[in-house]
């Protein structure tokens, strides 16, 4: 499943069931490494979610990982704590925001 498909699915589910987004205002940025670096953003604001394939908003948190590891993370096949400790996941920003993102992923994937 492509990153675009994963993010589109997450955004659709968030907008269909926004109750878990109440009170959240976050922009997450994903820097996907590999042959060609890719950048995606997921914005949650006022119980609405949207994503972009370029930088449009100032992120609260940036996650840097490979595309394959992003796909594993989004499908709950990668433990984010272990990935962070093993250097497969780099976090730029507060770790509490990363934990919140992981809990949202579990609810919406």
What percent of the chain shows pLDDT beyond 90? 83
Name the fold adopted by 3-108: Nonspecific Lipid-transfer Protein; Chain A (3.30.1050)
pLDDT score at 1:
86
- For the cut 90, the answer to whether the pLDDT of residue 108 exceeds it is yes
Q: Could you tell me the sign of the dihedral formed by the alpha carbons of 62, 68, 69, 75, in that order?
A: positive
Average pLDDT of the segment spanning 52-81: 95
Write down the domain spans for the chain. 3-108
In tens, the pLDDT along 30-51 reads: 999 988 999 999 999 999 999 9
- For the cut 90, the answer to whether the pLDDT of residue 4 exceeds it is yes
Q: What is the mean pLDDT of the chain?
A: 94
């Amino acid at each position: 499943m492509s990153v675009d498909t994963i993010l589109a699915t997450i955004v659709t589910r968030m907008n269909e069931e926004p109750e878990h987004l109440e009170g959240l205002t976050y922009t997450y940025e994903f820097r996907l490494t590999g042959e060609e670096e890719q950048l995606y953003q997921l914005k949650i604001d006022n119980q609405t979610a949207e994503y972009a394939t370029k930088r449009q908003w100032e992120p609260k948190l940036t996650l840097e990982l490979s595309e394959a590891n992003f796909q594993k993370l989004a499908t709950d096949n990668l433990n984010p704590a272990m990935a962070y400790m093993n250097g497969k996941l780099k976090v730029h920003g507060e770790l509490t925001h990363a934990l919140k993102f992981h809990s949202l992923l579990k609810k919406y994937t």
